[in-house]
Chains A and B, each alone.
Chain A
């Protein structure tokens, strides 16, 4: 059982380049999330999708777009990368049936923007 998978594991971009971070879960979860983790800032929610077909902004959505492709997949796109977007990005999922559920996290994508 793979759980939550993320690709790529590591990426280097130049300022202004675009890229898409991929996330997939095989637990039949309804809800999916994208976080970024920075030293001294903790985990911050970028976007989430409570169910297939819906997305909502989190705490730090500027500079990002998301697509809930289907129930399994939730992608995060950086249209024009900036050095401030250098971070570790985590995707997570939860069953989505009620509040306070366990979120299962992927292994993360380390992004460096030069």
Chain B
């Protein structure tokens, strides 16, 4: 069983839609949770970081962590064509070694 599970999609939504991206995990020791965005043929870039449970908001992006369900989410409000990318979740026990999901491919249609 993989440490982190993520639906690869692809996900296609109209501009302005609310997007929900999710990951589940099996290791209850994970306490650092991150979301990365990766454009085609580029390296990943950090979008959101959350420690332990709870919500975090940054502009149009909201990250949620539910440790009791071992489930994390990223919500994108008012999605834009520039949000079209692959979104990777990542998590860690110690903050040194991160386990990544396989990524969800998102296309926002103008």
User: Which residues of A approach B to under 8 Å, CB–CB?
Assistant: 4, 31, 35, 40-45, 48, 50, 58-59, 90, 92, 98-108
Contact = CB atoms under 8 A, between A and B. Distances in A.
B75 interface: no
Contacts of B51: 100
A103 B8 contact: no
Nearest to B34: A100
A90 B43 contact: yes
B92 A42 contact: no
A108 B88 contact: no
Interface residues on B, range: 20 to 34
Interface of B: 4, 6, 8, 32, 34, 41-46, 49, 51, 88, 90, 92, 94-103
Contacts of B99: 45, 59
A105 B42 CA distance: 9
B92 A41 contact: no
A45 B8 CA distance: 19
B49 A99 contact: no
A99 B46 contact: no
A59 B99 CA distance: 9
B103 to A, nearest CB: 6
Contacts of B42: 107-108
Given A101-B95, A103-B98, 7 more contacts: A4-B43, A31-B96, A40-B8, A41-B102, A90-B43, A99-B32, A100-B95
